[in-house]
Structure 1
């Protein structure tokens, strides 16, 4: 089961910082990040890929996005 990072309602750079904190804590696996702005979606995706994680899926959810990232 994926770890959930709920960053809705937070402005950058908080969603990125929460994502990076979870990436460092887990090391590998799956993480789902919930964000509510296009900017947060782009910045979180960029930060995850820079850490060697793959973007598995980005889906619209309500007024925001669910970003699923993975690292084996």
Structure 2
């Protein structure tokens, strides 16, 4: 599983990192860590628009998104 740690980054940086990771690791499960609720929402929408599945786990004030196709 490839991991993207985007905690502390502001949009659009987390979304760009996720997009790049999806391109460079096609078909691989992706774990994304973010600390901003709007980053979580933007990544969820982006991933779903590409027909991928996303599972979100909230831990305190952070979010862990698991993305797979």
TM > 0.5: yes
Q: What's the Cα RMSD here? A: 1.0
Q: Which secondary structure state, in structure 2, belongs to the residue aligned with residue 11 of structure 1? A: coil
**What are structure 1's unaligned runs of at least 5 residues?**
none
Q: 2:48 corresponds to which residue? A: 49
Distance in 2, matches of 1:13 and 1:40, equals: 8
Aligned pairs (5 A) from 1:33-72:
33-55=32-54, 57-71=55-69
Q: Give the Cα separation in 2 of the matches to 1:43 and 1:69.
A: 13
Aligned residues: 69
1:29 match: secondary structure: coil
State the alpha-carbon separation in 2 of the partners of residues 50 and 10 from structure 1. Answer: 22
- What is the distance in 2 between the residues matched to 1:16 and 1:51? 13
What secondary structure is seen at the aligned counterpart in 2 of 1:9? coil
In the TM superposition, residue 62 of structure 1 has moved relative to its aligned partner by 3.4
TM-score under structure 1 normalisation? 0.88
Greater strand fraction, Structure 1 or Structure 2 = 1
Give the unaligned 5+ runs of structure 2: none
Question: Residue 14 of structure 2 aligns with which residue?
Answer: 15
